[in-house]
Structures are given as structure tokens and as C-alpha cells.
A and B are shown apart, each in its own frame.
Chain A
Amino acid sequence: MSNTSPWIDLTGTPGQKHEEGIVVSDSHAAATHPPGLAHHFESYEQQKESSFLGMWLFLVQEVMFFGGLFCCYVIYRSLYGEAFAAASRELNVFIGALNTTVLLFSSFTMVVAVNAAKQGNRKWIVYGLLLTMLFGGIFLGVKYFEYSSKWEHHLVPGPHFEWHGEDVGRPVEIFFCLYFAMTGMHALHMVVGIGIMLWMLRPAWRGKWTPENHNFVEGFGLYWHFVDIVWIFLFPFLYLIGLAT
């Protein structure tokens, strides 16, 4: 229980902050509680179930958050199919598919880290995290080059936008608005994820997460897989429209 944990560790150690904030002439504190079990839970079981349910509800929230974007996409796509197809041809399908592959690998290495946590294998937690960060980093690097080439081709919406393709009307610009908003929001989630993984390295190495209590690793894994799922939809929606026609 020596680690201080920031608030994001929802249910980890009973957090020093709590002990500082309010307390303490109270026999209730650490002594009677097993390590890693927060004071307001009765058992590891209850803590674990609460933590997963909380994480899943957070993901529901994320689904709705991205859902607003997808809703815009669905509406404009159904109105301006032709313009979207033409605009989509400006994206490099091969790079998109490659990046999908990279991201799927990162999901797999995340599973490796979670599996290691279940077995209390701290070395492989760290390796798993490092590999996940590596793949995530590659993905973001590729994304960076994609973005900058869009910039050079004046495909970033706004005053600089220029369209030299087939004349399918102004909505091509809306496609690029959505492209940047959706991939940008997705990339932002990855950056946050990589940040959290960086933070996780130290406690992982020090053996904070044991087979009994590794809710944080598993919860984070859920988040990372969710980000992967968003991309699974973004890839066909953005890159694969009207390839055949």
C-alpha cells in the first residue's frame, strides 16, 4: 500500500488522499483491511465487480460520445454519397489497412499484458505495455504523415481548402471535416491511452498488480480495446467508400 495512486485508479489502494482528507481516530482504517481493498468495499469480489461495471459504463459513455460523430457521418453519407466516394479516393487505402493491422496487433499485446497481470508475471506486464505503446506509436506516426500530406494537398477544411477532383459539389469538404474530427478524436484517445500506459510502467515493474488485484490493468485493457473498435469502424467508413465504382 505504499504507492500513492492518482484519482484515476478508481478502486486501487485506499489512497492517501482519503486518509489525509478526513480521518482518523478511526479503528476502521488500514489495519482491518487487506492490502488493495478500499475501505468502503466488503470484499475483493465486490471491488472487482464494481470496478468493471464502472469501466463498462464509462465505455457506454464513450460509445455515445463517438456516436454523435457517427450520426453526422451517417446523415451526410446518406445525403451526399457521391461526394463522399469521390473525397474518400483522396485517402490512401493501403496505408489505412496497414494501420488497422498495427492497431490490431497493439490490442493483442494489451491482452498479453492483462494475461500476465492475471498470473502476477510483472515482467510480461511491462513487456506487454511496452509493445502496445510501440504499436500505438507507429499508428500515430503514420497518422501524422497522412495528416501532413492532406495539409499539403489543401484538403484540410477551412479557408485553405481546395478541391481539384471531379466536380461533385461542396459536400466533399464536409467529408474532410468528418475525417479530421473522427480520426482526430480517435487519435486523441490513443494519446491519452499511451500516457496512462507510461504511467503504469513503474507500478507494474514494482509488482503493484497481483493476481488478486489487477483491476486497473484489466480496466485499462478494456479502454484500449474500445479505441481499437472505433478504428475497426472508421477504416471501412472513411477509406473504403466507392472503391469499386
Chain B
Amino acid sequence: MSTQDFAFTPYPDLPKSHYLNVAYGLKSWLFTTDHKRIGILYLLSITFFFALGGLYATAIRLELLTPAGDMVQPDTYNRLFTMHGILMIFFFLVPSIPAVLGNFLLPLMIGAKDVAFPRLNLASWYMYIIGATFTLYALFMGGVDTGWTFYTPFSSTYSNSYVAAVAVGIFINGFSSIFTGINFMVTIHRMRAPGLTWFRLPLFVWSHYATSLIMVLGTPVLAITIVLLAMERVFKLGFFDPALGGDPVLFQHLFWFYSHPAVYIMILPSMGVISEIIAAFSRKRIFGYKFVALASMGIAVIGFIVWGHHLFVSSQSLYAGLIFSILTMLVAVPSAVKVFNWTATLYKGSIEYSTPMFYALGFLGLFAIGGLTGVMLATIGIDVHVHDTYFVVAHFHYIMVGGALMGYLGGLHYWWPKITGRMYPGFWSHLSALIIFLGFNLTFFPQFVLGYLGMPRRYHSYPEEFQVLHILSTAGASILAVGYIIPLVYFIWSLKYGEVAGDNPWDAVGLEWQTTSPPSLHNFDEIPVVDFEPYDYVEHEPVDRPYRYSRSEA
């Protein structure tokens, strides 16, 4: 902390009244309808599930350290990767950015006092908690061994694990997503401040609109599919039972009709975060703003008609496979539009390597790798070779961890001063961002190679020639774990000891920065009137920020 001398704190203290100090006590949290507090409730909940999912991941990586399946039984191993997937996808990544940052920021960004249906918003959190309770029940009873995809007939007939309980949990949790989606869409349609036209909306809002559309249109199909699965399992109604002429592939169709768009539920909000960060730290208007905005909608729509790429080798007809293959390649186009436009935004910008920017740059590279390997997988000829291998595992982890999770952490670092009013230490946050980037690549890059060489996914033992790569991957996972623990520590630390950040520590534009940090109960003293374009940065103006935390001390 030798740079203490530079410290310049124009805001000696937090504002007198803000959403955190207007009321105290458990009741004031459990019955709150304030979108900001609900965001915090979600933050705490998903952090818990991230940690739990992480424990399962640790167990998986430890088992794979040696070629022999010597740590756990094969059946236990099935439960490990299944619970890892369920917890991470349904209880962490799907709600992560929308329910935490979206909830907190959406009304602030559009100049509203709250979301359109505050009580529905709280209900969504309770749905999440009830769904999570069912899932935890199943977990403590021994978990589920079907894979997060619940393919029939194994899940409906043969599995001896707690499929029904988890099905109920995911069904209920789905409604938390649906409620959030409805709420966001209505909020964006009806609650915008005067002057805030559609093409003045921050890209974060656009991407949440697209996400909400998927939540509303896709999640109910998963819900009914899960109900059918549970009915088949419990009441022996053979919807997908081949013995009756039922078609298990139909289950896969219905499942992926939600679950492929769901991967865009995970990545789209993250793209929104990246747009905000890149604009703020290159001090430039986003290049091709309209294209980026509409690309979000394009991804949401095209993303609905590509699900069949998960069924290439499930005896789906070849004709359908062809159509799905072509459409899948098409969905990469709007994703690429975004990546190109972010890169063009960086070009000749006054780039500042703040912590959020570290995450954003990391996102760019990792998402590009994830997306390009996706296009490889969309090619049927390649997919037949690498389907259900570690190549696929690496593909989606590059997008979901390297993309979505990096975006979430970047967003958390970017808006943390807004949420809590305080700043985290610059040195440690830069360091942990680097550790995460390195650890991530060490964990997952070897998996591309492993998969290409033929290492199947979901096996707990493997031939010895794969061991070196598996050891690298496990080593990377340990580094990654360190990278995640550091922010946990300094975020908590900053709540009490962090420097007071001020209303707009990054000199960013956008309505959320025009109110106090933390914001007051009703967000704005007066509803703002918007007469400026989005990302109204003065270009090429060197940033000369007096604040200590804006620079890396490293």
C-alpha cells in the first residue's frame, strides 16, 4: 500500500440515507420489495451455490488425477458431475447476471423507481429458494446420477437416484426465471424515463431484454418437460417410453428447445456487461451501437432454432441434422458481430486497465475460442468424432466460465462501488483477475486436446496416456480456485474497510452513475430526463484519475 500518498478521497463518507440503511433486521430483507435488496438476496444465494458447485468440481478433478477410478465409485462419480452441472447451471449461471446485476441495475439504468412488479420480483427469489431447497434435499439424500440433461429412459425408468425431487426443484426454480423475465420485459417497455428511447438504452438493457424474451418463451417448455419426466417416473405414464412406442429423442428435443436458448440466457447478459465495461474504459462510444443492440435480439431469435445440434448422433434424421447444422453456424454471425464491434471500440481508445477491463479483455479472447469451437462442433462430420468427449466439455466451459462467468465477475467489479458505495483493493483485484485467466486456460485448454484424442466425458477412469493432460487440468483448477477465493475475501473486506468510492468512480456515463452510491431507496430524487445519446464519452480525452484504485499497483 505504498501508493497511499496518492490517495485522494473527495467523498469522505457514504450518503446519509441509502437503500441499505433505511431499515435493518432480517424482516426488512425477507419482505423487501426493493429491487436493489432483492439483487443482494440473489447475490448471497447464488454465491452459496457457486461454492457448492465448486466443491463438486473439485471432487471431479481430484478423481481424474489418476487413470484408475480409485477415489470414488463409478456411480458416485456420476452423481458428482450431475450435481455439479445442475447446481452451476440452474442455480448459479442462469440467475447470475440477470437476477443480481440486472435486478439491481435495470431500474437504475432506465431511470425508474423500481421494476414494474416489485412483489413478483420478491416472489421470484422465493421460488428460487424453494426450488433450491428441493434440490438440496435430493443432494443430501445422495444426489442424482443422470447428467444435468436427464435423458430418458435412464432418468425415467432405470436410475436409482432422486430424480423426482430434483425435477420438482428445477420446475419451481424455472418460475423464478420466468417471473424475472416478465418483470424485466414490462419494466423496459413501460418504465423508461422521459427521453430514453429504445436506441438510447444501454446495451446492458438490450441484452437483458433479449434474455428475458428467452426466459419467457423457453423456460415453460423445460417446465412441462420436467413435469412429464416426473410423471413418467412416478406414475409410470410412458410419454417417452420406447416400450409403448414413445420416443426418447422427443424428450431430447423438448429439453434442448429450452436448454440451447438457455446457454444464451447465460451469455447474453454477460455480453451486456462487457459492452458497458469496454465503452467506459476505452472512453468511446460503442462502435456500431445499433448492430450490437440488434445482434442481441438476433441471437435470442436464431438461438431458438438451432437446438438440434445436440442430437446429431441421437438418431435424429439426417435432414433435420443438416438444417440444424446450417442454422447453428448462422447463430455465430451475430455473436461475431459483437466481438468485432467490441474490438473496433477498443481501437484507438484511451484504454485504462482497470480490474473490470481485465475481465472484459479476458472475456473477448475466451469467448472467441468458445464460439469458434462451437462452429466446429456444428459441423456434423467433426461432431460425430468429438461428441460426448472432453472437446465439448472444453467448448462450453470456455463460453460459460471463460465468457459468462468472467462477465459476471467483471460486472461485479465494475458496479461494486455502486452497490456498496465502497471500493475493493486495486492490487488484489488485478492479481486475482490474472490468476483466474491463467488458471482457467490451464484447466480447460488441455481438455480440448484430451477430447480430440478421444477422452470421453462422464467417465471416471481413463487410459494412462491421458494422464499428463489431466494433471495439467487439475493443477489449473486449483489455481482457478485460488483466483475465486481472493475476490470473496476482499469484497467482504471492502464492506467495512474499503475506500469510499463516490457516486461515479469510473467517470462513466449512464443513469446509474448519476445517483448516489449506494443509491437511495427510490433510486433518484427526481426522475431524470434523458437528452443524451448512450456512451456519450468524450473521445481521446486522457483519463487522469486521481483515485488510487483506478490503476494497477502491480
Give CA–CA (A189, B338) in the complex, Å: 42
Given A18-B33, A54-B182, A57-B182, decide whether A174 and B521 contact each other with a Cβ distance below 8 A: no
Contact A173 B244 (CB under 8 A): yes
* B residues in contact with A60, CB < 8 Å: 216-217
CB-CB contacts below 8 Å: B494-527 with A: 521-522, 527
B488 within 8 A of A: no
Contact B225 A174 (CB under 8 A): no
How far, in Å, is A1 (CB) from chain B's closest CB?
15
A199 within 8 A of B: no
Question: In the complex, which of the residues B186, B217, B238 contacts A173, with contact meaning CB atoms closer than 8 Å?
Answer: B238
Per-position contact with B for A7-18: 1 when CB-CB < 8 Å, else 0? Answer: 101110001011
CB-CB contacts below 8 Å: B1-52 with A: 17, 19, 22-23, 27-28, 31-34, 37
Given A23-B22, A53-B190, A157-B238, decide whether A18 and B118 contact each other with a Cβ distance below 8 A: yes
Contact A174 B221 (CB under 8 A): no
Contact B122 A64 (CB under 8 A): no
Contact B220 A65 (CB under 8 A): yes
Number of interface residues of B (CB under 8 A): 59
Name the residue on B nearest A6 (C-beta): B119
Name the residue on B nearest A173 (C-beta): B244
Contact B120 A10 (CB under 8 A): yes
B116 within 8 A of A: yes
Contact A26 B521 (CB under 8 A): yes
Per-position contact with A for B183-226: 1 when CB-CB < 8 Å, else 0? Answer: 10110011100000000000000000000000011111101110
A66 within 8 A of B: yes
Which of the candidate stretches B162-170, B229-237, B346-354, B357-365 sits at the interface with the other chain? B229-237
Which of the candidate stretches A113-121, A176-184, A205-213, A233-241 sits at the interface with the other chain? A176-184
Give CA–CA (A185, B38) in the complex, Å: 32
Given A21-B27, A22-B23, A50-B186, decide whether A61 and B178 contact each other with a Cβ distance below 8 A: yes
Contact A72 B250 (CB under 8 A): yes
A165 within 8 A of B: no
How far, in Å, is B379 (CB) from chain A's closest CB?
28
How many A-B pairs fall under 8 Å by CB? 164
* B residues in contact with A38, CB < 8 Å: 118
Question: In the complex, which of the residues B120, B217, B237, B250 contacts A7, with contact meaning CB atoms closer than 8 Å?
Answer: B120
How far, in Å, is B432 (CB) from chain A's closest CB?
33
Contact B521 A22 (CB under 8 A): yes
Name the residue on B nearest A160 (C-beta): B236
Name the residue on B nearest A20 (C-beta): B31
Name the residue on B nearest A67 (C-beta): B221
Per-position contact with A for B103-136: 1 when CB-CB < 8 Å, else 0? Answer: 0000000001111111110110000000000000
Contact B522 A75 (CB under 8 A): no
* B residues in contact with A66, CB < 8 Å: 224
* B residues in contact with A72, CB < 8 Å: 228, 239, 250, 254
Contact A69 B224 (CB under 8 A): yes
CB-CB contacts below 8 Å: B344-401 with A: none
Per-position contact with A for B313-353: 1 when CB-CB < 8 Å, else 0? Answer: 00000000000000000000000000000000000000000
A28 within 8 A of B: yes
How far, in Å, is B208 (CB) from chain A's closest CB?
14
A58 within 8 A of B: yes
Question: In the complex, which of the residues B22, B27, B183, B527 contacts A20, with contact meaning CB atoms closer than 8 Å?
Answer: B27
A170 within 8 A of B: yes
Per-position contact with B for A40-57: 1 when CB-CB < 8 Å, else 0? Answer: 101000100110011001
Contact B239 A174 (CB under 8 A): yes
Name the residue on B nearest A10 (C-beta): B117
Where chain A touches its partner, the secondary structure class is helix
B538 within 8 A of A: no
B554 within 8 A of A: no
How far, in Å, is B472 (CB) from chain A's closest CB?
42
Give CA–CA (A83, B244) in the complex, Å: 11
How far, in Å, is B222 (CB) from chain A's closest CB?
8
CB-CB contacts below 8 Å: B151-178 with A: 178
Contact A174 B116 (CB under 8 A): no
* A residues in contact with B31, CB < 8 Å: 17, 20-21
Contact A39 B113 (CB under 8 A): yes
A71 within 8 A of B: yes
B245 within 8 A of A: yes
Give CA–CA (A17, B227) in the complex, Å: 33
Per-position contact with B for A60-87: 1 when CB-CB < 8 Å, else 0? Answer: 1110111111011001100110010000
* A residues in contact with B120, CB < 8 Å: 7, 10, 54
Question: In the complex, which of the residues B37, B115, B119 contacts A17, with contact meaning CB atoms closer than 8 Å?
Answer: B119
Given A21-B32, A69-B224, A180-B237, decide whether A174 and B117 contact each other with a Cβ distance below 8 A: no
Contact A15 B33 (CB under 8 A): yes
* 28 A-B interface contacts by CB (under 8 A): A9-B119, A11-B117, A15-B119, A23-B22, A26-B22, A39-B113, A39-B114, A42-B527, A50-B116, A50-B186, A50-B190, A57-B182, A61-B217, A64-B220, A66-B224, A68-B224, A68-B254, A69-B228, A72-B254, A76-B245, A80-B245, A158-B237, A169-B245, A171-B244, A174-B244, A177-B238, A181-B231, A185-B227
The 5 A-B residue pairs whose C-beta atoms are closest, nearest first, are A68-B224, A65-B220, A7-B119, A40-B114, A64-B220
Given A17-B31, A20-B31, 15 more pairs with CB closer than 8 A: A11-B117, A21-B32, A23-B23, A46-B190, A57-B181, A57-B216, A64-B220, A64-B221, A68-B220, A68-B224, A68-B225, A72-B250, A157-B238, A158-B237, A180-B237
Task: Report which A residues bind B (CB closer than 8 A).
Answer: 7, 9-11, 15, 17-18, 20-26, 28, 38-40, 42, 46, 49-50, 53-54, 57-58, 60-62, 64-69, 71-72, 75-76, 79-80, 83, 157-159, 169-171, 173-174, 177-178, 180-181, 185
